[in-house]
Structure 1
Amino acid sequence: VIIFCLLNKLKWITAILGAYVWGPLSELSYSAYMIHYFVIIYYYGSLLQTLYISIPDLIFTSLAVSFISFAFAIPFAFLIEIPSRNLMELVLFTMKNIKTEDESLE
């Protein structure tokens, strides 16, 4: 699929995969990815008895960890990830503009 999209053979797939709606969802899922490890560590660290693994327990634990991770990912993305990215872009693009202005003066 990636090769066909790069060669512009499947334009409708390229349009779907390049849609604007995936941007915020990707930021949220990345934040959840960053947080889920700590949620898992907290969950298994707070167990008071021996864990017996079964399919229903795995399903419940996976869904609970996913839900809690996404619940914490929303404020994490808005309060930490997006402001730090904006600050980094501000610093990097300001430095690029300064270098470009210095080169044009010469």
Structure 2
Amino acid sequence: MRRANHPATEDVALPEVMGALSDPVRIGLVRVLADGSERGWGALRAPVAKSTLSHHLRVLRDAGVTRTRQEGTRCFVRLRREDLDTRFPGLIEAVLAAADADGVGNGVGLMPGAT
């Protein structure tokens, strides 16, 4: 895997964040990661092919929504909640509340046995 690029907090731009959050699968991933835990990519379950899941994770990372960490051959992802709250106070909370109310991203979760 190539080294992941993460925008600095001050470089995270609202249009890119909103674009990244414009897909139900990506919103579902944000909902799963909203508990603050770092998750291995293999622990994530979504109704898409693995290559498509990888694409969605890259879009979130490139927009500054998530941070990816590589450890050997494994990759881990977490929500950049603090950075996003610094740049756009209340945005993630509002997105999560609306997604929860409307069931957006309900098909995304964790593999059985993943914590």
The bucket for the TM-score relative to the shorter chain is under 0.3
Q: Tell me which structure has the larger Cα radius of gyration.
A: 1
- Between Structure 1 and Structure 2, which shows a larger proportion of helix residues? 1
With the length of structure 2 as denominator, give the TM-score of the two structures: 0.22
TM-score under structure 1 length normalisation: 0.23
Specify which structure has the higher proportion of strand.
2
* Greater RCO (Cα-Cα under 8 Å, separation 6 or more): 2
